[in-house]
């Protein structure tokens, strides 16, 4: 693989790790995270929980709690500054409603017993938006996330994270189609590069890992194993002019035993290190003659010399 390809795939890995994180609806989810010094920092409440304390102290609306009927009421302003306009059942948001928070974030859609549940649209204050299915205040089911001027994801969600099959497309033209697990690419997937190149195969931990096939837009192909988005393991690399290598790789370079052949019949069968001939090998000439040889860091040396 050319150095440019390695850099391109590294960019892919960075895209996967950094951009997908923006798709997780973290602004809606509770929890905490670890700082670099491993201390635990408690995240602020999710948008949907900010009025929880006020709801517990609200008086029941007369006549509504007992009969369970839906009521359309005038806009209700919370102490947090949020405003809800829509249907109620007792002192719970229930039915269709729209809530806008003080910072400009807003949700429009279905509510069940005070929770976003069903179909709805949440728009972040920065312009990002999720439209799709909800369950108990989190994105869950099918939905689309628009990450402003960066990427769009269409597909399945589970607990506010990409989960199951989905399609993630970037503004510059790259696209991933495949399986997600807990917000990261995991399983089988196909990645279309901006220049027309393509990778199809295994993903793990949001990077290319395992068996897969890469087809470059200029005609080069590789089929084999990968680790952290670079070739690593055994595989077959074929160039446009008919040259090919079949053998072992280590971190994107020929390393171990491998066979390199040319269209005119020439061939090298032997050992490699860091992309160069290294150790014992056999050379086959155009005429079919076979010659043993020794190499060190890409240079041929007298037989048996170390």
Mean pLDDT by 10 residues, the chain (306 residues): 45 44 40 40 71 74 56 94 95 95 96 96 94 97 93 96 96 95 96 96 96 97 97 97 97 97 96 96 94 93 69
Residue 141, classified by CB atoms within 10 Å of its CB into exposed (0-12), middle (13-18) or buried (19+), is middle
pLDDT at position 207 is: 95
Length of the chain: 306
Look at residue 74 and give its three-state secondary structure. Answer: coil
Q: What is the pLDDT of residue 52?
A: 85
**Residue 185: beta bridge partners?**
180
**How high is the pLDDT of residue 141?**
97
Q: Within 132-269, where are the H helices?
A: none
Q: Strand pairing of 92-100 and 198-204?
A: unpaired
CA separation for the pair 223, 159 (Å, rounded): 35
Q: What is the pLDDT of residue 179?
A: 97
Give the per-residue pLDDT at 41.
41
pTM for the model: 0.80
- Write down the pLDDT at residue 285: 94
Judged by DSSP in three states, 38 sits in coil
pLDDT of residue 39: 43
Give the strand pairing for 138-147 and 299-301: unpaired
Angle at Cα 304 formed by Cα 300 and Cα 306, nearest 5°? 75
Measured CA to CA, the distance from residue 122 to residue 131 in angstroms comes to 7
Spatial separation of the C-alpha atoms in residues 139 and 158, rounded to whole Å: 7
pLDDT at 35: 41
Q: What is the dihedral of CA 5, 9, 15, 16, to 10 degrees?
A: 160
Q: Residue ranges of the domains in the chain?
A: 241-306
Q: For the CA atoms of 294, 298, 300, 305, what is the dihedral angle to 10 degrees?
A: -50
């Amino acid at each position: 693989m050319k150095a440019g390809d390695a850099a391109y795939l590294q960019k892919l890995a960075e895209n996967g790790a950094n951009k997908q994180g923006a798709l997780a609806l973290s602004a809606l989810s509770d929890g905490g995270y670890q700082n670099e010094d491993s201390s635990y920092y408690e995240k602020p409440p999710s948008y949907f929980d900010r009025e929880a304390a006020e709801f517990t102290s609200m008086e029941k609306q007369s006549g509504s709690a007992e009969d369970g009927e839906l009521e359309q009421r005038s806009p209700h302003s919370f102490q947090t500054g949020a405003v809800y306009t829509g249907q109620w059942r007792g002192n719970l948001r229930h039915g269709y409603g729209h809530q806008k928070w003080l910072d400009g974030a807003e949700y429009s859609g279905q509510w069940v017993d005070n929770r976003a549940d069903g179909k709805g649209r949440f728009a972040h204050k920065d312009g990002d938006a999720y439209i799709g299915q909800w369950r108990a205040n989190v994105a869950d089911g099918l939905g689309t996330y628009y990450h402003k001027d960066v990427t769009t994801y269409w597909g399945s969600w589970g607990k506010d994270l990409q989960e199951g099959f989905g399609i993630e497309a970037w503004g510059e033209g790259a696209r991933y189609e495949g399986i997600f697990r807990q917000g990261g690419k995991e399983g089988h997937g196909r990645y279309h590069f901006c220049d027309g190149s393509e990778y199809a195969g295994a993903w793990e931990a949001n990077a290319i890992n395992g068996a897969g096939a890469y087809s470059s837009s200029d005609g080069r192909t590789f089929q084999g194993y990968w680790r952290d988005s670079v070739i690593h393991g055994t595989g077959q690399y074929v160039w446009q002019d008919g040259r090919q290598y079949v053998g072992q790789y280590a971190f994107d370079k020929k390393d171990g035993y491998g066979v390199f052949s040319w269209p005119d019949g020439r061939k090298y069968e032997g050992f490699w290190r860091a992309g160069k001939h290294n150790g014992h090998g056999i050379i086959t000439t155009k005429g079919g003659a076979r010659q043993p040889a020794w190499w060190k860091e890409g240079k041929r040396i007298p037989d048996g010399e170390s």
